[in-house]
Structure 1
Amino acid sequence: MKQEAIQLRIIDALSDVAESDWNPLLASDSGPFLKYAFLNALEKTGCVGGNTGWQVAHLLVEDSNSGLLGAMPLYLKQHSYGEFVFDWAWAQAYEQNGMPYYPKALSAIPFTPVRGPRLLVSPHADKGVIQEILVSGLKTLVTQNGLSSAHVLFPENDELGVLKQQGFMLRDSVQFHWHNEGYQDFEQYLANLTMKRRKNIRRERAAVESHQISYRHIPGEIAVASDWNFFYRCYENTYIEHRSSPYLTEDCIQLLGSSMPENFHLIIATQNERPIASSLLVVDKPNATAYGRYWGAI
């Protein structure tokens, strides 16, 4: 691939790219959060963009015919909310030295601390070349616009090399992931725990049953508008009780439920046939992975 045949472009809306061009950049294990439907829903319903402090600035690598060779989900941030990586101390240090920390460049999935690729490359392009161009383009964006810094959150391990080579510092964090070690049911899982832990868990579950609480499992494909509406009331209430505002709007939840239902699973708790709580799992069926993302009660 000739270097002169490649060009960089920044777009302020994912809708400037066709879904049929974006999704082929995603490997089979990229997960649901990088899907066009997910990122576009955030933009279309105003969860990012506008006055949210998440200015959309996705970075594209294209050939001379405007064919998409690579991309980086990218935002110019006016704050550090919704990242789940806390850099307030850096912002304070900048302020104490009379320098602006915001805006900063951020490659991440908004409101989603899930690891995944950030340097997206077409399977028909040279991966190493495109990754280097994306990172170099990010650095140029920072320099030309006088931004304080660039951050790439929760990238894949195989992307760390090109980031380090271009001068990025690594920032370590800790997450806890549960893996099913071949358990056929919950009792088999409990059998691997200590007696004390088994006893405590069984007591907690019995307490729930004593309150006559039952659960409805609703795959996204069969969830209806009223299910999504009730879930959102629970989700919103979680933020209200903590004197905060939800990141996602009800329009966003409804749109996600209709545009990528295969990636969602609702659980609604009921007591005396009255719904009282709900949680939403994001599911990646091909990779047998579930993400417990949102929950709440009324």
Structure 2
Amino acid sequence: MAAVVGVGVRSWSWPVPPPKYKSSSSSRINASFSWEPNQKRSSSSHHQVFTFPVTSSSSSSSESNNIITISFVSSISEIPSTEWDACALDATGHHKYNPFLSHAFLSTLEHSQSAVKDKGWTPHHMIAQDQSNHILAVVPLYLKTHSYGEFVFDHSWANAYYNYGSSYYPKLQSCVPFTPVTGPRILLRHTSFQDLVFDSILSAIKDLTLISRLSSFHVTFPSQNQWHKFTQKGFLPRIGMQYHWTNRNYKNFDEFLMDLKHNKRKKIRQERNKVAAQNLLMKRLRGYEIKAKHWDSFYTFYRNTTDNKWGTPFLTREFFHEMGSKMGDQVLLIVAEDAGELVGGALNLIGGDTLFGRLWGCQPETYYPFLHFEACYYQAIEAGIELNLKTVEAGAQGEHKIERGYLPVTTYSCHYLIDEEFSKAIEDFLVRETTQVKMVMKLLHDSGPFKEGVF
């Protein structure tokens, strides 16, 4: 897939015209700061305020005179957890509850010094309120000084911007840091005028990008529905793919295997038998079963993975301990023991109908053949069946997941770039990239591991 996402943006060259900017001009703005050339942030940046009148004819009399106020905070701790979580739950529904959008998860990233300014992730969360200060919506939002930890790759865009004579960073990003998990990004409460709140937030996003002198605003892994709404308002659409496993009401793992082609079924059984032959004990731990020693070991595994793959270890040891404490039974830690010693593991979070597999690692300088597949994929499938979940979402990349029952699905992102000529060049690139991604996904589906007629 590297060839797909890296099509030659880097080779562009053209005269540098003066930037062409457009403001949405539908809001009243009280902006008390601007970005300086050295990209340092004013201490009063959180005083930005955008206001929008509610003028829907379908609203009640009291609502039609309402004012939507949009402001920003520099830490999610400034927003009550009950208010944030109410927005997240209304946005997803109970059956689609997404633990990565919870106040507990996002606040842990900040408290543990994992997603903070010093690491290029400055929190700048957006809040929409009515004139009685009731929270109508929240948006997880970060000022980024690099493009790491996003899983939607725009490094070539940054290089092209540099060659173009402009600075791509800082940029604004609405996402879950370090987590390529799909979900709504504008977390809306249920109201009769929530569409107006959504549109007001989009207008504020555009104005914020403009008045802050930023190159761009990016929304990564939004829900398909919100992705359509963003693109209808002028954001550039982009697609990618991940690999997900779907539960067809299986009673056990063997029943799942019977849906596979014979050679794929045989290979999986052989791999699982080879793990068992190494005298590894696999455990699935939740909530109080996960002790401090497990998190200390898993942090070692995580650091081993980032070190071996030239990654940046954004997550701190404190992150894992605090997340486990705050999120309880929503956490599923799959571990492998060798003679009582923890030697590998995979971190998962449990949502409304989905098991989200996210991090994997093993003890340094050890190798257990097929342990990665067992911990990350097969144990996750067994857990998904036991918990009666619809999907196991195994994260980004990895075509090796396909022959193990995980099929490609479409993911989404959308992008708003201030400079019009640069935006047009990116738009042209994305049209070509989208065609290639769709073609690759069809090829992968057609050569999938399942018997004919299963999917």
- TM-score bracket relative to the smaller structure: over 0.9
Match of 1:185 in 2: 252
Match of 2:194 in 1: 127
Matched, 1:293 2:368: no
Matched, 1:19 2:81: yes
CA deviation after TM superposition for structure 1 residue 192, in Å = 1.4
Match of 1:155 in 2: 222
CA deviation after TM superposition for structure 1 residue 30, in Å = 4.0
Matched, 1:64 2:126: no
CA deviation after TM superposition for structure 1 residue 125, in Å = 5.4
Matched, 1:243 2:243: no
Q: Deviations over 1:2-29 (max 9, x none)?
A: 4652211011101111111111102322
Partners of 2:339 and 2:115 in 1: CA distance = 39
Match of 1:220 in 2: 287
Matched, 1:271 2:338: yes
Partners of 1:124 and 1:283 in 2: CA distance = 28
Structure 1 residues 81-100: aligned runs within 5 Å: 81-100=148-167
Match of 1:111 in 2: 178
Q: Deviations over 1:232-265 (max 9, x none)?
A: 1111211122233322111011000001112101
CA contact (8 A) 1:235 1:296 kept: yes
2:144 is aligned with what amino acid? K
CA contact (8 A) 1:164 1:170 kept: yes
2:218 is aligned with what amino acid? H
Partners of 1:30 and 1:133 in 2: CA distance = 25
Structure 1 residues 10-49: aligned runs within 5 Å: 10-26=72-88, 27=90, 28=94, 29-49=96-116
Q: What secondary structure does 1:65 align onto? A: coil
Structure 1: 5+ residue stretches without partners:
none
- Give the number of aligned pairs: 296
2:105 is aligned with what amino acid? F
Please give the TM-score of this superposition, normalised by the length of structure 1. 0.95
Partners of 1:238 and 1:212 in 2: CA distance = 23
Please give the TM-score of this superposition, normalised by the length of structure 2. 0.63
CA contact (8 A) 2:68 2:197 kept: no
Matched, 1:253 2:315: no
CA contact (8 A) 1:30 1:116 kept: no
Match of 2:273 in 1: 206
Structure 2: 5+ residue stretches without partners:
1-62, 364-455
Q: Deviations over 1:213-235 (max 9, x none)?
A: 11122112331211211111111
Match of 2:34 in 1: none
Say if 1:50 and 1:175 are closer, same or farther in 2 by CA, change over 3 A.
same
Q: What secondary structure does 2:129 align onto? A: strand
Partners of 2:150 and 2:311 in 1: CA distance = 15
Q: Deviations over 1:89-142 (max 9, x none)?
A: 110110001100001111111011111011111123522011111111111110
Give the counterpart of 1:229 among 269, 288, 296: 296
1:13 is aligned with what amino acid? S
Partners of 2:65 and 2:153 in 1: CA distance = 37
1:189 is aligned with what amino acid? F
CA contact (8 A) 1:71 1:134 kept: no
Relative contact order (alpha carbons < 8 A, sep ≥ 6): 1 or 2 greater? 2
Give the counterpart of 1:168 among 230, 235, 240: 235
2:132 is aligned with what amino acid? N
Say if 1:22 and 1:276 are closer, same or farther in 2 by CA, change over 3 A.
same
CA contact (8 A) 1:215 1:270 kept: yes
